Structure 1
Amino acid sequence: MTAPHWDPQQYLRHADHRTRPFHDLLARIGELPGDPAPRVADLGCGAGNVTALLADRWPQARITGYDNSPDMLARAAVHVRPLLDFAVADAATWEPPEPYGLIVSNALLQWVPGHADRFPVWLDALAPGGTFAFQVPGNFTAPSHTLLAALRESPRWRSRLHGVGERTAAVLDPVGYLTRLRTLGCEADVWETTYLQTLQGEDPVLDWVKGTALRPVLTALAADPQARDAFLAEYRDLLRTAYPTGPHGTVFPFRRIFAVARRA
Structure 2
Amino acid sequence: MWDPAKYLDYADLRGRPFYDLLARVPVTRPRRVADLGCGPGNLTVDLSKRWPDAIIEASDSSPEMVEAARGRGLDAQVVDVRDWTPRPDTDLLLSNAVLQWVPNHRELLPRWVAQLPSGAVIACQVPGNFAAPSHSLVRELAATPEWAPRLADVVFREDETVDTPQGYGELLAGAGCAVDAWETTYLQRLAGPDAVLEWITGTALRPVKAALDEEAWQRFRDRLAPMLDDAYPPRGDGTTWFAFRRIFFVATIG
Scaled to the shorter chain, the TM-score interval is over 0.9
- CA deviation after TM superposition for structure 1 residue 125, in Å: 2.9
Match of 1:20 among 16, 19, 26: 16
Q: Aligned-pair distance for 1:95?
A: 2.1
The yes-or-no answer on 1:59 pairing with 2:52 is yes
Q: Secondary structure at 1:212's aligned position in 2? A: coil
Q: TM-score, normalised by structure 1?
A: 0.92
Say whether residues 1:112 and 2:102 are aligned partners: yes
SS in 2 for 1:232: helix
Structure 2 residue aligned with 1:214, among 188, 194, 205? 205
Change (3 A) 1:244 1:163: farther
Match for 2:81: what amino acid?
Answer: A
Amino acid at match of 1:126: L
Residues 17-51 of structure 1 deviation map (CA, whole Å, 9 limit, x = unaligned):
1100000000000125xx1x521100111111111
Structure 2 match to 1:76:
69
2:47, 2:115 → 1: CA distance?
19
The match for 1:240 is 229
Counterpart position of 1:93:
83
SS at match of 1:79: coil
Cα offset, 1:241, TM superposition? 0.8
Partner in structure 2 of residue 154 of structure 1? 144
Offset at residue 78 of structure 1 (A): 2.3
Alpha-carbon contact 2:119-2:253 (below 8 Å) kept: yes
Q: 1:30 aligns with which of 22, 26, 32?
A: 26
Q: Is the 8 A contact 1:48 1:75 kept in 2?
A: yes
What is the identity, as a one-letter code, of the residue corresponding to 1:197? Q
Counterpart residue number, 2:120? 130
Give 2:77's aligned amino acid: A
Residue among 3, 6, 20 paired with 2:2? 6
Question: Matches of residues 191-206 of structure 1 in structure 2 within 5 Å?
Answer: 191-206=182-197
User: Counterparts of 1:245 and 1:165 in 2: how far apart (Å)?
Assistant: 29
RMSD, matched Cα: 1.3
Supply the distance in 2 between the matched residues of 1:98 and 1:217 (Cα, whole angstroms). Answer: 39
Q: TM-score, normalised by structure 2?
A: 0.96
* Alignment check: 8 A CA contact 2:125 2:249 kept: yes
- Is residue 50 from structure 1 mapped to residue 9 from structure 2 by the alignment? no
Q: Report the CA distance between 1:163 and its aligned residue.
A: 5.5
Conserved in 2, the CA contact under 8 Å of 1:95 and 1:121?
A: no
Q: Offset of 1:99 from its aligned partner? A: 3.5
| Distance in 1 (alpha carbons) for counterparts of 2:253 and 2:146 | 50
- Tell me if structure 2 keeps the 8 A contact 1:6–1:215: yes
Q: What is the rounded CA distance, in whole Å, between the counterparts of 1:164 and 1:147 in structure 2?
A: 15
SS of the equivalent of 1:55 reads helix
Deviating above 4 A after TM superposition, structure 1's stretches of 4 or more consecutive aligned residues are none
**Structure 2: tracts of 5 or more residues without a match:** none
**Aligned-residue offset at 1:127:** 2.2
Report what 1:175 is aligned to: 166
Q: Which amino acid aligns with 2:241?
A: V
Mapped contact 1:165–1:217 kept (Cα < 8 A): no
Residues 99 and 125 of structure 1 are in contact (CA less than 8 Å); yes or no, is this contact kept in structure 2?
Answer: no
Question: Structure 1 pair 123/97, CA: closer, same or farther in 2 (3 Å)?
Answer: same
**In structure 2, C-alpha distance between the alignment counterparts of 1:125 and 1:66, rounded to whole Å:** 18
Q: What amino acid sits opposite 2:218 in the alignment?
A: D
1:80-120 Cα offsets, whole Å, 9 max, x none, are 2xxx5211110122222433100000000000001010012
Residues of 2 paired with 1:12 and 1:242: CA distance?
A: 24
Does the residue aligned with 1:150 lie in a helix, a strand or coil? helix
Matches within 5 A, 1:218-229: 218-221=209-212, 224-229=213-218
